[in-house]
Amino acid sequence: MWLLLLLCSSLNATEVYQWFDEDGSPVFADQPVDTTAQPVQLSPASNRYLFNVKRVSDGDTLILENNERVRLLSVNAPEISSRYREAESGGIAAKNWLQAQLKQGQIYLQYDNEQRDRYNRLLAYAWSVDGTFLNEQLLKQGLATLALQPPNLHYADELIAAQQQAIQQQAGIWGDKAYQPRKVSSLDETAYRGWHRWRLAAKSLSQTRDYWVLTVDNKVSVRIAKKQQKLFPVMEEYLNKPLEVRGWMSKRGDQYRLFVQHPSAIIVLD
């Protein structure tokens, strides 16, 4: 704590180094104590740190100079092609846009409650050196979709509003034929993969130990973790109404499941 106070009070007085401990938490000091330590600069904005960027991996992922992989929080850009998958429509556009914002080779990062994901990537909000909030702009321009993941909700309101603007303007993927809503009746072995907008109606409500289960039919259900229940309206409000559920569907046996972490992914249609 004393070090953070010192950093805030003497922002320009000394060089600051950062590395990560065994738990993945950032450590700061005025000397490069660890062999992986990298110099960073504190931004005047609270808890933002300046890093050098080696390259952009895709529209929501970049690699820092110290080889740390950073996943931009709360956004999901279309995939680009790799040996594991085919390119998704809009993936190259998102990557090119992000590269253009980082042409100076530096970026400000800010963490939320969780600093790493299960792949050990850093999770962060990002700003270009000219102050552009990159997570927000990716959504506002329709280059990515909203993917809020509690407890990382610090900028939830701003990001929800950014996506809503893109939807209203049919910007980017929202005007792209590949991202138009699909009926769950179109499900098959290949059509369920990837991020989609699913049109459905939940006929009944049940629960397991960990989830509320909105059952659509004998093969499809929407699952909401009970630990996130306080973020959602009363579950019965979703029953017998036309819904658009946005996200990734998983398949287990002959059952298809949509796991929803935040109410912004469920839209009650008129």
Q: Do 187 and 164 reside in the same domain of the chain? A: no
In a domain, 13, yes or no: no
In the residue annotation, 55 being an active-site residue is answered as no
Contact between 184 and 217 (Cβ < 8 Å): yes
Contact of 153 with 182, CB cutoff 8 Å = no
Q: Do the beta carbons of residue 57 and residue 72 sit within 8 Å? A: no
Question: Do 191 and 167 fall within a single domain?
Answer: no
Task: Provide the pLDDT for residue 13.
Answer: 38
Indicate which residue of 69, 116, 121, 223 is catalytic: 121
Q: What are phi and psi of 26, to 5 degrees?
A: -70, 140
Phi and psi for 29 in degrees, rounded to 5? -160, 165
**What pLDDT shows up at residue 66?**
92
Q: How many domains does the chain have?
A: 2
The answer to whether residues 148 and 235 belong to one domain is no
Q: Which of 71, 116, 182, 257 is catalytic?
A: 71
- Residue 185 and residue 151 in one domain: no
Asked whether residue 27 is assigned to any structural domain, the reply reads no
Residues 50 and 129 placed together within one structural domain of the fold: yes
Query: Residue 15, SS3?
Result: coil
- DSSP letters, 87-122, are PPTTHHHHHHHHHHHTTTSEEEEE--S--B-TT--E
Tell me which residue range forms the domain holding 162. Answer: 43-172
What is the pLDDT at residue 36?
77
Q: Say whether 83 is catalytic.
A: no
Looking at the structure, do residues 53 and 164 belong to the same domain, yes or no? yes
Co-location of 200 and 165 in the same domain:
no
Q: Is 79 a catalytic residue?
A: yes
Query: Which helix (H) or strand (E) segment is 183 a member of?
Result: strand 182-183
The percentage of residues in the chain with a pLDDT greater than 70, rounded to a whole number, is 85
Which pTM was predicted?
0.82
Give the model's pLDDT for residue 3. Answer: 36
Q: Which of 48, 68, 79, 136 is catalytic?
A: 79
Q: What is the pLDDT of residue 188?
A: 74
Alpha carbon of 169 to those of 87, 89, 95, 163, 198: distances in Å?
A: 25, 18, 21, 10, 20
Q: Residues of the chain whose pLDDT is less than 50? A: 1-14, 44
Same domain? For 152 and 219 the reply is no
CATH number of 228's domain: 2.40.50.140
Closest CA to 263 of 239, 236, 240, 230: 230
Nearest to 225 by CA among 239, 217, 235: 235
Contacts of 219 (CB under 8 A, 6+ apart): 187, 254, 255, 256
> For 23-60, what is each residue's pLDDT tens digit?
565 666 656 767 777 776 655 455 889 999 999 999 99
Residue 30 placed within a domain: no
Within a domain: residue 205? yes
Domain-embedded: residue 6: no
The 10s digit of each residue's pLDDT in 55-84 is: 999 999 999 999 999 999 999 999 988 777
144/22 Cα distance (integer angstroms): 32
- What does the pLDDT read at residue 52? 95
Peptide bond into 233 cis (omega under 30): no
